């Protein structure tokens, strides 16, 4: 017969001790305290707190000894299922990995926010300060419209679209705009070309690349805010109705006309059941998208 490993001996020892311990507790529980002699009652009363501590230690460590060994992957990196998570997510407490998994496109939004406006501004300030940009150009500009100002923006988009969308197709378009308008706020993402021109003058060999890198800068700001807002319980969807509202927006909110509008992030508290009813993401096989060379 194969020799038992150290782990096996430890398991046998622990199991034996637990059997003896259980028998002793059973014996104690069968005593009638009223009929005990004074010395025996004193000994039992002294033992009970100790037994409680031992049981607590046993309960905290025994499951890891009793469970069968599994692969290191499943033990160290358990799958996280957001649909069963009961702890409240927040921007400050959620891991980056969980935040990335949690981010989804949510269209059914309401005119409420899960966080105060001051918290929204705090997250925005983190984004505009900490998200990187090409050559530290800091070309990103964000204009945030909340409540009535948000409604006003989508009224502008609706009115412009009505002049160009055929009447027989308006119902679908109108319903989409009404859905965006029904949210709490919209973040408008701009890029300031002055910052790009300055870099083009400094580094003429990269002149053609800087506009493309500016798009990358904007995309990083969009993703950071989208992900951060959703960790606070907000739902978001990203739209691209530019340049339709650009001129009106510049007039109403004093946005420099030369700034280029790139995207609009619509956000608000998800309608009841909106997140839970989202379909699973369809994914191409990883081997068709990810290629790693030289890994050990």
pLDDT tens across 205-264, in order?
999 999 999 999 999 999 999 999 999 999 999 999 999 999 999 999 999 999 999 999
Q: What is the per-residue pLDDT for 3?
A: 44
Q: Where is pLDDT greater, at 49 or 190?
A: 190
**264 has which bridge partners?**
188, 239
- On the question of pLDDT at 72 being above 90, the answer is no
For the segment 102-107, the average pLDDT, to the nearest whole number, is 96
- Position 31 scores a pLDDT of 43
Instruction: Place 200 in a pLDDT band, splitting at 50, 70 and 90.
Output: very high
- Of 66-80, 90-104, 145-159, 278-292, where does mean pLDDT reach its minimum? 66-80
- CB-count burial class (<10 Å; 0-12, 13-18, 19+) for 195: buried
Task: Kindly indicate the confidence band of residue 49, based on its pLDDT and cuts at 50, 70 and 90.
Answer: very low
The answer, yes or no, to whether residue 93 has pLDDT greater than 80, is: yes
How confident is the prediction for the chain on average, in pLDDT?
80
Please determine, for residue 11, whether its predicted confidence score (pLDDT) is greater than 90: no
Rounded-to-integer distance, Cα 177 and Cα 160, Å: 11
> By percentage, how much of the chain surpasses pLDDT 70?
71
Task: Select from 3.30.70.270, 3.40.109.10, 3.90.1150.10, 3.30.70.600 the CATH code of 89-268.
Answer: 3.40.109.10
pLDDT at 157: 98
User: CB of 260 within 8 A of CB of 191?
Assistant: yes
Exposure string (b/e) for 197-234, b if CB count within 10 Å is 16 or more? eebbeeeeeeeeebeebbeebbbbbbbbbbbbbbbbbb
Say whether pLDDT at 111 is over 60.
yes
More confident site: 86 or 203 = 203
Residue 285: pLDDT band (50, 70, 90) is very high
> Averaged over 158-182, what is the pLDDT?
97
| pLDDT above 80: residue 274 | yes
Bond prior to 243 in cis (omega within 30° of 0): yes
Is residue 2 very low, low, confident or very high in pLDDT (cuts 50, 70, 90)? very low
Is the confidence at residue 116, as pLDDT, over 80?
yes
d(CA 210, CA 193): 10
Q: Which residue has the higher pLDDT, 106 or 79?
A: 106
Contacts of 283 (CB under 8 A, 6+ apart): none
User: Is the pLDDT confidence value at 136 over 90?
Assistant: yes
Mean pLDDT value across residues 172-186: 97
pTM reported for the whole predicted model: 0.70
Distance between CA atoms of 171 and 196, rounded to whole angstroms?
Answer: 40
User: Token pair for residue 225?
Assistant: 């805010």
Q: Report the distance separating Cα 235 and Cα 105, nearest Å.
A: 7
Kindly state the percentage of the chain with pLDDT values over 90. Answer: 68
Q: CA torsion sign, 76 to 93 to 238 to 141?
A: negative
């Amino acid at each position: 017969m194969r020799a038992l490993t150290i782990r096996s001996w430890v398991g046998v020892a622990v199991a034996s001790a637990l059997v003896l311990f259980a028998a002793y507790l059973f014996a104690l529980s069968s005593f009638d305290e009223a009929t005990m002699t004074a010395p025996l009652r004193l000994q039992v009363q002294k033992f009970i707190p100790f037994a409680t501590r031992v049981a607590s230690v046993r309960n905290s460590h025994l499951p890891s000894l009793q469970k069968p060994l599994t692969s290191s992957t499943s033990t160290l990196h358990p799958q996280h299922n957001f649909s069963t998570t009961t702890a409240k997510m927040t921007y400050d407490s959620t891991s980056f990995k969980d935040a990335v998994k949690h981010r989804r496109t949510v269209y059914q939004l309401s005119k409420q926010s899960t966080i105060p406006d001051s918290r929204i501004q705090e997250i925005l300030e983190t984004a505009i300060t900490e998200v990187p940009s090409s050559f530290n150009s800091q070309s990103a500009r964000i204009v945030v419209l909340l409540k009535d100002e948000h409604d006003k923006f989508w009224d502008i988009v609706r009115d412009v679209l009505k002049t160009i969308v055929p009447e027989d197709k308006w119902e679908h378009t109108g319903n989409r705009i009404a859905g965006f308008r029904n949210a709490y706020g919209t973040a408008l993402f701009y890029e300031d070309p002055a910052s790009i021109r300055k870099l083009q003058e400094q580094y003429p060999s990269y002149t053609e690349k800087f506009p493309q890198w500016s798009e990358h800068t904007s995309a990083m700001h969009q993703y950071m805010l989208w992900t951060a807002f959703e960790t606070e319980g907000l739902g978001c969807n990203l739209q691209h109705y530019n340049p339709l509202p650009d001129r009106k927006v510049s007039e109403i909110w004093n946005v420099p006309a030369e700034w280029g509008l790139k995207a609009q992030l619509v956000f608000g508290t998800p309608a009841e059941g909106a997140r839970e009813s989202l379909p699973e993401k369809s994914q191409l096989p990883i081997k068709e998208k990810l290629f790693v060379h030289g890994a050990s």
